[in-house]
Amino acid sequence: MDLTDADIDALVTWSLIRAAHRAERELTALFAAHGLSPVQFGVLSHLATGTEFTQAQLARAVLVRPQSISGVLDGMVARGLVTRDAERSKGRRNPLALTAAGRDLLAAVWPAVREANRPERLGMSAAEVSALNDVLLRMVDGER
């Protein structure tokens, strides 16, 4: 089979993967400068909304498996970024909350993340960024 660059570029999901890898590399470096991973940033961001999350709900919100989030949260609790409202036990709700240190860290990293998302930095117009974000959010939510 002979393909052209145009054939490859016509595969929207492949283009999405390539773009996601680029964005991930850039944001991962930005987060690392603040001692965070992308998942930890997601945890801080979601908890900063004021919505009450259990561990399982938070795992779904940051798109990781519930088993994977446990170690992430343990580390964040140990760093004083997140608290659990109750003792952990199987089958019992255990809401999570952002600490003052978690809020401060998010406040420190947020401007750099906003800067990385400026349309000019992405090579797009504000309207293009808005339209792309709408499409991506539909994909994240699984809507077709």
Domains in the chain, ordered, with CATH?
A: 5-141 (1.10.10.10)
pLDDT digit string, tens, across residues 16-28: 999 999 999 999 9
Say which DSSP state 91 is in. T
Phi, psi (degrees; rounded to nearest 5) at 122: -90, -5
DSSP 96: E
In whole angstroms, give the CA distance from residue 68 to residue 57.
Answer: 13
pLDDT at residue 54 tops 50: yes
CB 93 within 8 A of CB 53: no
Q: Which of 54-58, 70-74, 90-94 bottoms out in mean pLDDT, i.e. has the lowest? A: 90-94
Calpha distance 85→79 (Å, rounded) = 16
Distance CA 121, CA 64 (A): 28
Pair 109, 30: CB distance under 8 Å: yes
CA distance 106 to 87: 25
In this predicted structure, which of 39-48, 55-64, 71-80 has the lowest mean pLDDT? 55-64
Position 91 scores a pLDDT of 53
Structure tokens at 99: 């600490």
Query: pTM for this structure?
Result: 0.84
pLDDT band per the 50, 70, 90 thresholds, residue 87: low
**56 pLDDT higher than 70:** yes
pLDDT attached to residue 44: 97
Q: What's the mean pLDDT when you consider all of the chain?
A: 90
